[in-house]
Structure 1
């Protein structure tokens, strides 16, 4: 029996560690596709480009999350099917979402 292999896309390291995609694991997340989407977003710079178009009236001394990170999180939520935004508090603890967001989340 021949085992087929295919190459997986190269992803940017996360905290200095390589990120690998695999489809042979026992435990999988329905939101694992966010890892690939995050890579596409990072390369396209969509969240940063949107943030650059908006004025952020918040006091910088009191800002915990940048406007770019908030937009990125919202993009990921919509892509994962959480279009209402009312799941944000729960999703910030979700492993798939934590993997694609900065450590400050």
Structure 2
């Protein structure tokens, strides 16, 4: 019989949140892989680099979500298999995705992400 000794896996903290993968229940997300994706993104800085080459013409004082957080939310969502924007109306409240995107409040709604995508030049 296999004896498991690992009780938890620690990830780097985000916005003052202690992030830990546990195997004993508690607050859970069905998309825990987003934490690994976030760690990889932080190492290769993909979304960071992308956010610097995309022109953000929004009025900053009227924005709740940074360009970087919109990019991360959308890209991570696609990587998790949520290609439809309407999925984000539920995902925006997922604590795992919020932590991966480095926000401690609700993420962008589907309408905000839609406006973000429609602003892009082709």
Q: How far apart are residue 10 of structure 1 and its match?
A: 5.5
Q: How far apart are residue 96 of structure 1 and its match?
A: 2.2
- Secondary structure of the residue aligned to 1:38 is helix
Q: 1:103 and 2:100 equivalent?
A: no
Q: TM-score, normalised by structure 1?
A: 0.77
Q: Distance in 2 between matches of 1:12 and 1:53?
A: 27
Q: Distance in 2 between matches of 1:98 and 1:75?
A: 13
Q: Could you say which residue in structure 2 is the equivalent of 1:32?
A: 32
Structural RMSD (CA) = 2.6
Q: Provide structure 2 residue ranges, at least 5 long, that are not aligned to the other structure.
A: 107-122
Q: Provide structure 1 residue ranges, at least 5 long, that are not aligned to the other structure.
A: none
Q: TM-score, normalised by structure 2?
A: 0.68
Q: Distance in 2 between matches of 1:96 and 1:17?
A: 11
Higher helix share: 2
| Deviation digits for residues 1-28 of structure 1 (CA, Å, limit 9, x no counterpart) | 773546x776211234542223x33465
Seen in structure 2, the aligned counterparts of structure 1 residues 36 and 58 have a Cα distance that, compared at 3 Å, is same
Higher strand share: 2
Q: How far apart are residue 89 of structure 1 and its match?
A: 1.8
Q: Could you say which residue in structure 2 is the equivalent of 1:83?
A: 83
| Number of residue-to-residue matches in the alignment | 104
| Deviation digits for residues 21-59 of structure 1 (CA, Å, limit 9, x no counterpart) | 23x334653211111211111222211111111111111
